Structure 1
């Protein structure tokens, strides 16, 4: 076995260990809801989402901050892929509030669902309840817009019911 092959195997093993050990305190969040486009004539529709929440890079007594990524698909063919920061505030009796800001790329499925540019920012606010199993249910309100970085900025809002699945 050559030196280059041994280095690749060692690098692959190190990467596998790093990824496996970073799986704690992470979660996948699956959501379903409805999107409402602000632009006249736009096609509203059912939205499905999947988010990945990384382990906290900051963890205080009631607040934690994580990196997050999301993919959202609307029945009209619209899609969003973004990544950014999520904050979570733990309340009493396993209730929580979360907020996130995820810049990303948006592609419209129909011309009237154009939000003005490919660059869009999704901001989201949610309230949820964590169960003894570690899973949680939350209701989220999100808004996507280009923050007036393009000539038009109609925006889209969505209300989603979300199921949080821990990866521990």
Structure 2
């Protein structure tokens, strides 16, 4: 019987490299995950989440007030310019000279924007966005006194105007 003697160093064999590949892949993936976690901030949790939870009833009251006034709004956009048409089916709603259009990104709070809309008369308001928006946004329109609010979801890339209507509480 002859014994075969293999005098090659360990790194010239295939099996040590196959055994090292698994843990090495995990280490590289862990480093990549750590870099992504440190370099990006998701902004999903606010610092005052308890206070925001306590104001839910106030927000619901503003929605209910908008439904009692029968308010509807159409949001139209051309580039950075935004135009609103607010109408009231109740007919007696006095519209303010200035309202606030709030755009909230569903996942990135750093992209949120508040636009002051100035009245042009007969329910028309104009304003200018601070940045170019695309994708999905949560929109709310509020009067400066904080008495009513209209809100909805907007796909900014859509060519159709956004129609906001007050929803009555059940």
- TM-score, with length taken from structure 1: 0.27
Query: Max radius of gyration: which structure?
Result: 2
